[in-house]
């Protein structure tokens, strides 16, 4: 998600799901600015979701931590995101891609589900990497010290970045569609406000029992809640239909499908068709990584069936980022005991707006009208002729995506120090 041209959000502002964000909080490595909190009691340490928008400034350091390195979500100077959560995971897991665009706001969602032995990491709505978990309590969401920026006990390993719209959901493993959507006019991932109430797609249905045709082998493995895995799938040489009970599936539907082509060195193509006639294809080599294609059908309503062509391999189906799981009823969508919402777009950026009162403590922030803590730099991007903004310590301009100094472009014989969100050299 790069710099937007003025007026680029006209379509977004007309979308019912869009959210115009007023700004972002500037964390600075030099000033050691961070937010701190110690929950009064432990929450659900196995199942939770963390969502946030971030503009990285090139400095490596801990973005979130609990009990120092007991939990770490770290951005490294190489551009990768690194994750560890002692207890539920062993060792460190890193992203498969690097994130080094200093002009871009990235949307990160961590879907932590130790009961199903997996954590999924989504970048701008797409799954980027996973971590294998054990069915055990992790360090995050325990009644221990937590930081946003830096390590929570030794108070070091700070980074510089702008952050906005931090949502933590205690007790639910939600996907990115709960916090963002693809703008149908631009195809770009955009923010939307997280809403509570209702439930996710799983409602007690045993999805794997609604097969017609040749069910193939291991029909329950595609719907055991673990998501796409090499050894978790349903496969057959003939066509199969998966029926979804009335009123069907509604939301952003992603089918994780592959080919059952018998020759390991040949690429097979199989099609997957929804009841509204939408067709997408997978193209892989049988039993050779990456095994499946994440076929994103986009927003759909009342889908009653999925037809898999002969030779298919079906690994999983998700709706709004939630994997279909047999015989599971998801609880009502809520923030949960330790859940919190920090918009970070106003001077009270440490105050939880979820209604739970899980506030954080400001550390080393000292913004002024000339050098504010909260900037108009926003995931919403630039708006031409937008409404004036008042009531915060920044400017009166509309939300925008700032032009800043580029930390990747420096002289070969000089290495100037950039700070203040790459606004100062």
Could you report the per-residue pLDDT of 143-190, keeping only the tens digit for each? Answer: 999 999 999 888 889 999 999 999 999 999 999 999 998 887 888 899
pLDDT at 155: 80
Same domain, 74 and 121: yes
Output the CA–CA distances (angstroms, integers) from residue 234 to 222, 224, 297, 313, in the order listed.
Answer: 6, 11, 20, 6
Same domain, 158 and 80: yes
Residues recorded for the chain: 425
Same domain, 179 and 239: no
Q: Give 12's DSSP letter.
A: H
Query: Last residue of some domain: 323, 347, 373?
Result: 323
Both ends of the chain: CA-CA distance in Å? 25
Same domain, 245 and 317: yes
Same domain, 291 and 359: no
What is the Cα–Cα distance from 184 to 118, expressed in whole angstroms? 31
Output the CA–CA distances (angstroms, integers) from residue 416 to 14, 78, 408, in the order listed.
Answer: 43, 19, 11
Same domain, 31 and 86: yes
pLDDT at 414: 64
pLDDT at 146: 97
pLDDT at 410: 59
Q: Would you say residue 287 lies in a domain?
A: yes
Asked if 125 and 107 touch (Cβ cutoff 8 Å), the reply is yes
Asked if 160 and 421 touch (Cβ cutoff 8 Å), the reply is yes
Reading the block at residue 214, the tokens are 């040749």
Residue 222: strand, helix, or coil: helix
Q: Would you say residue 60 lies in a domain?
A: yes
Question: Model confidence over 276-334: pLDDT tens digits?
Answer: 999 998 877 666 677 788 889 988 999 999 998 887 788 899 998 888 999 988 778 99
Mean pLDDT, residues 390-407 taken together: 58
pLDDT at 107: 96
pLDDT > 60? residue 4: no
pLDDT at 287: 64
Asked if 35 and 404 touch (Cβ cutoff 8 Å), the reply is no
Residue 10: strand, helix, or coil: helix
What is the Cα–Cα distance from 70 to 151, expressed in whole angstroms? 10
More confident residue, 415 or 65: 65
Asked if 5 and 12 touch (Cβ cutoff 8 Å), the reply is no
pLDDT at 21: 87
Asked if 127 and 121 touch (Cβ cutoff 8 Å), the reply is yes
Same domain, 169 and 22: yes
Within its chain, how far is the Cα of 378 from the centroid?
17
Same domain, 211 and 194: no
**Cis omega before residue 290 (within 30°)?**
yes
Q: Would you say residue 246 lies in a domain?
A: yes
Same domain, 183 and 63: yes
> In sequence order, what DSSP letters do the residues of 283-342 get, joined into one string?
EEETTSTT--EEEEEEEEEEE-EEEE-TTEEEEEEEETTEEPBTT-BPPBP---TT-EEE
Residue 68: strand, helix, or coil: helix
Same domain, 125 and 241: no
Q: Would you say residue 211 lies in a domain?
A: yes
Reading the block at residue 363, the tokens are 């550390």
Domain that holds residue 87: 10-199+332-363
Question: Sign of torsion, CA 351 357 358 359?
Answer: positive
pLDDT at 123: 94
Output the CA–CA distances (angstroms, integers) from residue 225 to 36, 232, 325, in the order listed.
Answer: 34, 10, 4
Per the structure, how many domains does the chain have? 2
**Helix or strand holding residue 417 (H, E):** none
What is the Cα–Cα distance from 1 to 96, expressed in whole angstroms? 18
pLDDT > 60? residue 395: no
CATH code of the domain covering residue 23: 2.60.120.200
Mean pLDDT, residues 238-245 taken together: 88
Question: Model confidence over 12-36: pLDDT tens digits?
Answer: 333 445 788 889 999 998 889 999 9
Mean residue pLDDT across the chain? 83
Question: Sign of torsion, CA 271 274 280 283?
Answer: negative
CATH code of the domain covering residue 256: 2.60.120
Q: Would you say residue 308 lies in a domain?
A: yes
Instruction: To the nearest 10°, report the CA torsion of 164, 145, 50, 220.
Output: 180
What is the Cα–Cα distance from 139 to 67, expressed in whole angstroms? 7
pLDDT at 37: 97
Q: Would you say residue 340 lies in a domain?
A: yes
pLDDT > 80? residue 86: yes
Residue 251: strand, helix, or coil: strand
In this prediction, residue 354 has a pLDDT band, given cuts at 50, 70 and 90, of very high
Same domain, 166 and 282: no
Query: Last residue of some domain: 258, 291, 323?
Result: 323
Closest to 311 measured CA to CA, from 290, 332, 287: 287
Mean pLDDT, residues 70-82 taken together: 91
Same domain, 237 and 340: no
In this prediction, residue 117 has a pLDDT band, given cuts at 50, 70 and 90, of confident
Q: Which residues are CB-contacts of 316 (< 8 A; sequence separation ≥ 6)?
A: 222, 223, 226, 227, 228, 232, 255, 256, 323, 324
Q: Would you say residue 418 lies in a domain?
A: no
Question: Sign of torsion, CA 150 155 157 158?
Answer: positive
Q: Would you say residue 75 lies in a domain?
A: yes
Query: Last residue of some domain: 323, 354, 372?
Result: 323
């Amino acid at each position: 998600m790069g710099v937007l041209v003025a007026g680029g959000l006209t379509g977004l502002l007309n979308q019912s799901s869009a959210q115009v964000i007023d700004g972002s909080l500037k964390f600075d490595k030099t000033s050691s600015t961070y937010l701190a909190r110690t929950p009064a009691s432990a929450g659900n340490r196995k199942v939770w979701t963390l969502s946030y928008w971030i503009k990285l400034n090139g400095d490596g350091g801990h973005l979130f931590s609990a009990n120092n390195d007991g939990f770490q979500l770290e951005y490294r100077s190489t551009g990768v995101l690194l994750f560890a959560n002692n207890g539920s995971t062993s060792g460190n897991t890193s992203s498969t891609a690097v994130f080094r665009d200093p002009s871009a706001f990235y949307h990160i969602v961590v879907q932590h589900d130790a009961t199903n032995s997996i954590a999924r990491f989504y970048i701008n709505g797409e799954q980027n990497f996973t971590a294998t978990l054990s069915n055990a309590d992790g360090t995050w969401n325990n009644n221990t010290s937590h930081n946003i920026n830096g390590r929570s006990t030794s108070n070091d390993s700070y980074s510089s970045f702008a952050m906005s719209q931090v949502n933590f959901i205690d007790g639910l493993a939600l996907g990115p569609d709960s916090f963002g959507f693809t703008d149908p006019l631009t195809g770009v991932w955009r923010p939307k406000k997280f809403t509570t109430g209702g439930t996710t797609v799983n409602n007690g249905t045993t999805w794997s029992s609604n097969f017609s045709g040749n069910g193939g082998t291991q029909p329950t493995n595609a719907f055991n809640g673990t998501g796409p895995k090499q050894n978790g799938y349903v496969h057959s040489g003939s066509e199969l239909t998966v029926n979804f009970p009335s009123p069907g599936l509604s939301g952003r539907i992603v089918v994780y499908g592959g080919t059952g082509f018998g020759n390991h060195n040949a690429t097979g193509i199989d099609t997957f068709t929804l009841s509204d006639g939408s067709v997408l294809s997978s193209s892989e080599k049988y039993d050779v990584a990456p095994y499946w294609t994440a076929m994103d059908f986009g927003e759909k309503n009342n889908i009653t069936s999925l037809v898999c062509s002969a030779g298919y391999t079906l690994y999983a189906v998700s709706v709004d980022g939630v994997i279909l799981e047999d015989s599971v009823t998801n609880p009502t969508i809520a923030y949960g005991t330790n859940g919190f919402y920090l918009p970070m777009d106003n001077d009270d950026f440490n105050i939880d707006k979820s209604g739970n009162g899980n506030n954080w403590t400001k550390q080393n922030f000292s913004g002024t009208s000339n050098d504010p803590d909260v900037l108009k730099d926003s995931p919403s991007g630039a708006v031409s002729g937008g409404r004036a903004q008042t009531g915060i310590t920044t400017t009166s301009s509309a939300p925008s995506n700032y032009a800043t100094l580029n930390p990747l472009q420096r002289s070969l014989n000089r290495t100037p120090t950039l700070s203040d969100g790459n606004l100062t050299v």
